[in-house]
Structure 1
Amino acid sequence: MTKSLPTFSSKKIWIADLLLLLVAVVWGTSYGVAKQALVFYPVLDFVALRFSITFLLLLPSLRQLAQPQGRAALRAGLPLGLILLAIFICETFGLAQTKASNAAFLISLFVVFTPFVEWLVMARRPSGSAFLMAFVSLFGTWLLTYGGSLALNLGDGLILAAALLRALMVCMTKRLTHNKSMSTLALTAVQSGVVGLGCFLIAALFMRNGLPPLPSASGFWICTLYLVLFCTIFAFFAQNYGVRQSDPTRVSLLMGSEPLFGALFAVFWLGEQLSFLSWVGGGLIVGATLWATLPRSIFFARLAK
Structure 2
Amino acid sequence: MSKQLKADLMLLLITLGWGVSYYLVDLSLEDMGSFTLNANRFLIAFAVAAVLSFPKLRNVSKATLMYSALLSVVLVFVYIGATFGIQYTTLSNTGFLCGLSVIFTPILSSIIYRRLPDRKVIFVVTMSFIGIGLLTLTDSLTINYANLKGDLLSIMCGFMYAIDLLITEKAVKKDDVNPFQLGVFQLGFTGAFNLVLAFVFEVPHLPTSPHIWAPVLFLAVFCTGIAFIVQAVAQQYTSASHVGVIFSLETLFAGIIAFVFANEVLTAKSYVGAALMITSIFVMEIDFGELKKIKMNKMNQEQ
TM-score normalised according to structure 2 size: 0.88
Can you list the C-alpha shifts for 1:136-180, whole angstroms capped at 9, x where unaligned?
112112223445443242222111111111111111111121153
Segment drifting more, 57-66 vs 47-56: 57-66
> Counterpart amino acid of 1:275?
T
Show the counterpart of 1:227.
219
Question: What is the 5 A alignment of 1:114-193?
Answer: 114-146=105-137, 148-152=141-145, 153-180=148-175, 182-193=177-188
Q: Do structure 1's residue 109 and structure 2's residue 131 form an aligned pair?
A: no
Match of 1:94 among 85, 95, 100: 85
Show the counterpart of 1:20.
11
> Counterpart amino acid of 1:155?
G
1:64 to 1:123, Cα distance in 2 relative to 1, 3 A:
farther
| Structure 2 Cα separation of the partners of residues 125 and 87 of structure 1 | 26
- Given that 1:126 and 1:249 are in contact with CA atoms closer than 8 Å, whether structure 2 keeps it comes out as no
Show the counterpart of 1:196.
191
In structure 1, stretches of 5+ residues that fail to align are 1-9
Displacement, 1:99? 1.2
In structure 2, stretches of 5+ residues that fail to align are 299-303
1:272 to 1:107, Cα distance in 2 relative to 1, 3 A:
closer
Displacement, 1:220? 0.9
Can you list the C-alpha shifts for 1:31-69, whole angstroms capped at 9, x where unaligned?
11111110111111111111110111111435444436x
- Given that 2:96 and 2:254 are in contact with CA atoms closer than 8 Å, whether structure 1 keeps it comes out as no
Match of 1:250 among 242, 260, 279: 242
> Counterpart amino acid of 1:184?
P
The percent of aligned pairs where both chains have the same amino acid is 27
1:275 to 1:301, Cα distance in 2 relative to 1, 3 A:
same
Show the counterpart of 2:301.
none
Q: How many residues in Structure 1 have an aligned counterpart in Structure 2? A: 292
What is the RMSD computed on CA atoms of the aligned residues? 2.2
| Structure 1 Cα separation of the partners of residues 176 and 193 of structure 2 | 27
Show the counterpart of 1:303.
295
- Given that 1:114 and 1:252 are in contact with CA atoms closer than 8 Å, whether structure 2 keeps it comes out as yes
1:113 to 1:72, Cα distance in 2 relative to 1, 3 A:
same
Show the counterpart of 2:230.
238
Displacement, 1:224? 0.5
Show the counterpart of 1:206.
201
1:271 to 1:100, Cα distance in 2 relative to 1, 3 A:
closer
Q: Secondary structure at the match of 1:245?
A: coil
